[in-house]
Amino acid sequence: MARLTTAIVLVMVAAACGKPAPVDPADPYLTEIAKFREAREAVLKTDTGWLTIAGLFFLAVAITCAVYVITDFLFHRTWASLFTALVGAAFLVLWYGLPLAAAIQDSRRGSRRAR
């Protein structure tokens, strides 16, 4: 019984993960929703999207913690802390600061065009 339930759940999850049904071009409402979703997805997947910046921030924190654990094992705690702080600062500038600065610059360009 448990295997049957598991199989049904897996089939339902696999069916839900499929691509959405194609939009009927005759219905303007559904066409507008499809256009909005495509545009929103394109914005979220850019290098300056908030989703990318947030993901890179948490990835940098995880890598920095791993660097600390490894360097603490290899070197004295003081040197490990210093090196980890440098690595964390590099991640902060390269993975968080630069995309955020580009996003701010893009938003300023957009507001200038709107004028």
What pLDDT is recorded for position 55? 82
| Mean pLDDT of the chain, nearest integer | 81
Q: Is the pLDDT of residue 97 over 60?
A: yes
Statement to judge: residues 21 and 36 lie in one domain: yes
Statement to judge: residues 28 and 60 lie in one domain: no
Count structural domains, the chain. Answer: 2
| In-domain check, residue 51 | yes
- Is the pTM value of this prediction over 0.75? no
Helical H runs in 1-115?
A: 2-16, 28-44, 50-74, 77-91, 98-114
Q: Tell me how far apart the alpha carbons of residues 64 and 109 are, in angstroms, rounded to a whole number.
A: 34
| In-domain check, residue 99 | yes
Statement to judge: residues 73 and 22 lie in one domain: no
What pLDDT is recorded for position 56? 79
Question: Which pLDDT band, with edges at 50, 70 and 90, does 84 fall under?
Answer: very high
Q: Tell me how far apart the alpha carbons of residues 17 and 110 are, in angstroms, rounded to a whole number.
A: 35
Look up the domain containing 11 and give its range: 1-43
| In-domain check, residue 3 | yes
Statement to judge: residues 2 and 33 lie in one domain: yes
